[in-house]
Amino acid sequence: MNTDYMHQRFQILKLLSDGKFHSGEQLAKKLGISRAAIWKHIQTLQDYQLDVHAVTGKGYRLSPGIELFDAEKILESCPESEIQDLQIFTETTSTNEIILDQISHGSIHRHVVLAEYQESGRGRRGRYWLSRLGSGICLSVGWRFEGSPETLMGLSLATGVGLIRALEKTGIQNAGLKWPNDVLVDGRKLAGILLEMRGESAGPCNVVLGVGINVQRMPARQEGIEQPRTDVETLLGHKISRNELASGVIKELLIMLQRYQEHGFTAFLPEWNTHDCLLGQQAVLLRAGEEITGTVHGVDQQGALLMDINGQTERVISGDVSLRKA
């Protein structure tokens, strides 16, 4: 992608983010480009599903305005000493990919990457995470664990616990966790987690924790999301600062990672149980094209799912399985 072109588009987005009218002439003057070029950029922003409209005699307006990520605001409440590196992208492939790419070039410990928009936000097993530009939180944190990958089986679950803590601080008290990696409210997906790692079997292990949170309401029909979803602002009934939420989430994730490093998943087990939305319920396990019904019996000390199937407790590790409410 042409970086000059992207830079111009970001400048226009920044100017429009206040939700006020800006004439094509003013925008063209500020950026030193033609009005026709401005119009082209506006069309691209509309292609990103941003509600930019044009009114004759007044200009362009993004309605409602958006609060773009701001490193200073994020670091204000999240000590710089805890974040080794904070990168904010307007558009990128995926925040996880950015950190994964950096592994071969050096340490990614305590690196944080945020994006206003991901072209190919990832979910588990080739699935995706979709988010409208400027309307959610797409965030990844890099962490280097000295131990082997085996000790990290419960990390995805502990990340869910960290997210619940951050959400509770914003006023969302009823979010639940669905094994192994979804944050739901009343059966609607609010946030997704994708953990990716690179390491040797004996350790150390570089972990990239990717998190996607819906902050603003998405269009009612969003192609590609085939499950019920919700967002922070709908749940709270008011607007929220994305920078405050992002910094709250980063803070909780760093605390969680440190605690996990010291104590492993056991330290998170009680909180997981409190928020496990399928605990004690009938659920369907999708495994290798098979649907197995059973009762969720919680998780063990490593974070494996315990499910009662035909009178036997089976231990299920994540990987190639999905869990659904029966």
With CA atoms as reference, report the closest residue to 26 among 63, 48, 58.
58
CA distances from 302 to 125, 160, 203, 249 (A): 21, 15, 17, 24
Q: Is 322 in the site for ligand ATP (CB under 6 A)?
A: yes
Contact 156, 178 (CB under 8 A): no
Kindly name the residue from 61, 110, 124, 132 that is annotated as catalytic: 124
189 lines the binding site for ligand ATP (CB under 6 A): yes
The Cα–Cα gap between 181 and 211 comes to 10
- Site size toward ligand ATP, by CB under 6 A: 18
| 225 sits near ligand ATP (criterion: CB under 6 A) | yes
Q: Is residue 259 among the annotated active site residues?
A: no
Name the residue type at position 279: L
- With a CB cutoff of 8 Å and minimum separation 6, the contacts of 111 are 83, 84, 85, 86, 87, 99, 102, 141, 142
- Which of 182, 184, 185, 278 binds ligand ATP (CB under 6 A)? It is 182
The closest of 121, 119, 99 to 108, measured between CA atoms, is 99
Residue 193 dihedral angles phi and psi, to the nearest 5°: -130, 135
> What's the CA gap between 261 and 8, in Å, rounded?
42
Among 176, 192, 199, 264, binds ligand ATP (CB under 6 A): 192
Q: Which of 8, 96, 181, 216 binds ligand ATP (CB under 6 A)?
A: 181
List the one residue from 173, 227, 258, 301 that touches ligand ATP (CB under 6 A).
227
Q: Which of residues 93-152 bind ligand ATP (CB under 6 A)?
A: 123-124, 127-131
Residue 214 in the binding site for ligand ATP (CB under 6 A): yes
Which residues, 151 to 170, sit near ligand ATP by CB under 6 A?
none
Q: Which amino acid is at 124?
A: R
Q: Which of 61, 110, 189, 251 is catalytic?
A: 189
- 229 forms part of the interface with ligand ATP (CB under 6 A): yes
User: Is residue 165 annotated as a catalytic residue, yes or no?
Assistant: no
Positions marked active-site: 124, 189, 324
Q: Which residues bind ligand ATP (CB under 6 A)?
A: 123-124, 127-131, 181-182, 189, 192, 214, 225-227, 229, 322-323
